[in-house]
Amino acid sequence: MHLWHFLRRTGWPSAVIAAFCFLIPMHASDPRAVQVKRINYHGWTNSIVLANPATEVVIVPAIGRVMAFRFVGEEGPLWDDPELYGKSPDPQTTEWGNFGGDKTWPAPQADWGKVTPRAWPPPTAFDSLPVEASVAGSVITLVSPVDSHYGIRTRRRIELDSARPVLRITTTYEKVSGAALTVGVWTITQLRDPVAVFAPVAPDSRFASGYDKQSEGLPLDLRVSEGLLSLRRGPGNGEKVGTDAGALLWVGATTMLLIRSPRVAGATYPDNGSSAEVWTNGDPKAYVELEMLGPLKAMSKGDTLERSNTYTLLRRTTSDARADARKALSATD
């Protein structure tokens, strides 16, 4: 019997099961317990659902994004824009087609205008073209076209644990053509308006204040206390901070999403050395971005660059967001 089902039948609360299963290594799971099916998702045909008994992931190759990660039967934390449901990305537009979800862009953003004809929207093949999806058992792989300016193809391997609410996405950049350049893997996850966002702050953080200010203003209620950075989304202009953390935590009313991508000691990171960043978007589109960045690498034709993110859904167990965050983030130490 599947572990999750067994514990549920014996009367364990789902929050306790999630915490217990979180301690079991992902490689111990049975991939045969993950179900794969094709669906029409909000007008996007040939979308893919990965599901275990607890959670499901929705992947939309037509727009090159993971659009949902949620407990079965519940609204998930990922944000999307209903105004764009079923629409196709336009690589020629000067307006960003902000579909939402989880995606990858090349870092640093400051180089976009040097490598491509435009500094914004993001480079075309990373953001504005469909991708090819392949299914091997319960593993989904998304492969992008080669970006004509970066000469890079992205490959994203998506795996859902069979027992736990844990998703792993491994993003690989493959340098196929063009001149050598320095780049890092950058993963952007857009999430609904949170109760708060948290990041661990190490005693030896490279940032004296615990964060790097990356916008004119600072996010609402930004605070660093006892090794924990916290902030909220404000209704005004978008604000952004960077950190040298290896994890970020989104806290909602009843659930949390922990994103982990451990920092590599001694590596060079973009954006003043940031390995994790948070963007808070102003109204009317109420979302935040939790962004994990990998080390920079000089890539020549034939080179590859890889980073993995692990996403864990958790139940809140108290009414104190900071206490819940401290407990969730302690698992990353």
> Is pLDDT at 20 greater than 60 in this prediction?
no
Supply the pTM of this predicted model.
Answer: 0.90
Q: How many CA atoms lie within 13 A of 35 on its CB side?
A: 10
Residue 55 is predicted with a pLDDT of 98
DSSP class of residue 33 equals G
Are the beta carbons of 17 and 161 closer than 8 angstroms?
no
Range of the domain at 184: 3-332
Residues 138 and 233: their CA atoms lie apart, in Å, by: 36
Residue 28 is predicted with a pLDDT of 42
Confidence of residue 12 (pLDDT cuts 50, 70, 90): low
CATH number of residue 207's parent domain = 2.70.98.10
Higher pLDDT among residues 13 and 119, named by residue: 119
Residue 13 is predicted with a pLDDT of 53
How far is the CA of 29 from the CAs of 138, 154, 264, in angstroms? Answer: 12, 27, 27
Residue 10 is predicted with a pLDDT of 53
Find tokens 């690498």 and name the residue: 297
Comparing 22-36, 68-82, 171-185, 283-297, the range with the smallest average pLDDT is 22-36
> Is pLDDT at 126 greater than 50 in this prediction?
yes
Total of domains in the chain:
1
